[in-house]
């Protein structure tokens, strides 16, 4: 009798398991379940700029509803301006999470002046001829730094450091490209102590080199003119640091030479690059130059 009862329970469990699997499969086939039809709803949205725009608008409306302390020209106002003024698939970026469960902040830096508010913001646009629009989760964070190897599968993000002026309305003062596609970490203001020149540091993870890359935008001609870009980085077998070689307003850099033998990494030499008019030139070999 006990054997029959056990057999009945096992049979009933198998029937229920089969029913559940078949139900999931059938829902997948008509496009309502994971992996079915034309793909998940998330995949469909990624290839539909209109749907992505609609979701951004819904999220913005919810942020407005939940916001407590607001002011004219705040981050929510800027997000709305970007949503309305830029092509679909454009985002005001967020910083990477410092901790697992904290709420990430938008990549904006506010400065109050006598003629209104100035805002440095990191904007990411979807490449126009890509089939897929970008998603913030695919371009922010350590894992997202691998996107540079094949960015087109997840959409290609074109980053821009942008200065906005707000005095009742937002106005774009300038924008300058950030030459990368993914792995954004955070944006901060810094001061070049040697020359007392402020700069905006945009930090990106670089998982492939077990390190990070900094895009440093120096306000050598003041905040109203586009800044000067110097790239620095550090990883397991790469390093470039800021330097001051020729005592001018433009920062120079020191590039370290690495030998990676497999069991150890050595740095037998380094060389300085100096900014001259349009590019950085190797002080030992004038034929070798770098754009930034």
Q: Is the pLDDT of residue 241 over 70?
A: yes
**pLDDT reported for residue 24:** 36
27 class by beta-carbon count within 10 Å (0-12 exposed, 13-18 middle, 19+ buried) = middle
Tell me which of 264 and 108 has the higher pLDDT.
108
pLDDT of residue 42: 57
- The Cα angle at residue 281 between residues 158 and 256, in degrees rounded to 5: 80
Q: How far is 62 from 285, CA to CA, in rounded Å?
A: 57
Mean pLDDT on 184-212: 93
pLDDT at 97: 81
Mean pLDDT of 99-111: 83
Lookup: tokens for 263: 């069991």
Write the CA distances from 135 to 123, 145, 230, integer angstroms. Answer: 13, 14, 27
What local confidence, expressed as pLDDT, does residue 38 receive? 46
For range 51-66, the mean pLDDT:
89
For the segment 16-41, the average pLDDT, to the nearest whole number, is: 39
More confidently predicted of 205 and 207 = 205
Is residue 34 pLDDT above 80, yes or no?
Answer: no
Instruction: Count Cβ atoms within 10 A of the Cβ of residue 155 and give its class: 0-12 exposed, 13-18 middle, 19 or more buried.
Output: buried
Q: Which among 86, 93, 75 is positioned nearest to 203, based on CA atoms?
A: 93
Q: What is the reported pLDDT for 184?
A: 95
Q: Where residue 228 falls among pLDDT bands split at 50, 70, 90?
A: very high
The rounded mean pLDDT for the chain is 83
Give the whole-angstrom CA distance, residue 147 versus residue 155: 9
Q: How confident is the model at residue 101 (pLDDT cuts 50, 70, 90)?
A: low
Q: Is the pLDDT of residue 56 over 70?
A: yes
Give the confidence band of 49 by pLDDT, cuts at 50, 70, 90.
confident
What is residue 68's predicted lDDT score, i.e. its pLDDT?
Answer: 87
Report residue 69 CA to chain centroid gap.
Answer: 27
Report pLDDT for 158.
94
For residue 188, CA distances in Å to 109, 222, 252 come to 8, 17, 20
Q: How far apart are CA 280 and CA 199, in angstroms?
A: 18
> Please, what's the b/e burial string for 221-243 (b: 16 or more CB within 10 A of its CB; e: otherwise)?
eebeeebbbbbbbbbeebbbebb
Q: Is the pLDDT of residue 55 over 50?
A: yes
pLDDT of residue 93: 95
Q: What is the pLDDT of residues 249-270, one digit of tens each?
A: 999 999 998 887 777 777 788 9
């Amino acid at each position: 009798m006990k054997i029959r009862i056990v057999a009945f329970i096992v049979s009933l469990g198998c029937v229920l398991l089969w029913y559940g699997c078949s139900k999931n499969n059938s829902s997948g086939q008509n496009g309502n379940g994971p992996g079915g039809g034309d793909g998940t709803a998330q995949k469909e949205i990624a290839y539909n700029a209109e749907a992505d725009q609609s979701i951004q608008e819904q999220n913005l409306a919810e942020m407005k509803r939940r916001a407590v302390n607001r002011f004219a020209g705040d981050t929510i106002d800027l997000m709305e301006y970007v949503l309305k003024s830029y092509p679909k698939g454009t985002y005001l970026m967020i910083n990477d999470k410092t901790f697992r469960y904290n709420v990430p902040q938008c990549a904006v830096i506010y400065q109050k002046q006598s003629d209104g508010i100035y805002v440095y913001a990191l904007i990411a646009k979807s490449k126009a001829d890509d089939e897929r629009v970008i998603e913030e989760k695919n371009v922010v964070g350590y894992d997202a730094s691998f996107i540079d190897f094949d960015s087109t599968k997840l959409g290609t993000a074109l980053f821009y450091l942008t200065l906005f002026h707000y005095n009742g309305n937002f106005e774009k003062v300038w924008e300058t490209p950030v030459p990368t596609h993914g792995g954004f970490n955070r944006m901060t203001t810094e001061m070049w102590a040697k020359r007392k020149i402020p700069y905006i540091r945009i930090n990106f993870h670089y998982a492939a080199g077990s390190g990070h890359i900094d895009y440093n935008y120096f306000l050598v001609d003041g905040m109203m003119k586009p800044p000067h870009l110097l790239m620095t980085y550090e990883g397991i077998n790469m390093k470039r640091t800021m330097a001051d070689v020729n005592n001018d307003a433009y920062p120079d850099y020191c590039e370290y030479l690495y030998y990676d033998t497999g069991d150890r990494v050595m740095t037998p030499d380094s060389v300085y690059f100096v900014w001259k008019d349009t590019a950085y030139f190797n002080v030992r070999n004038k034929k070798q130059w770098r754009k930034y």
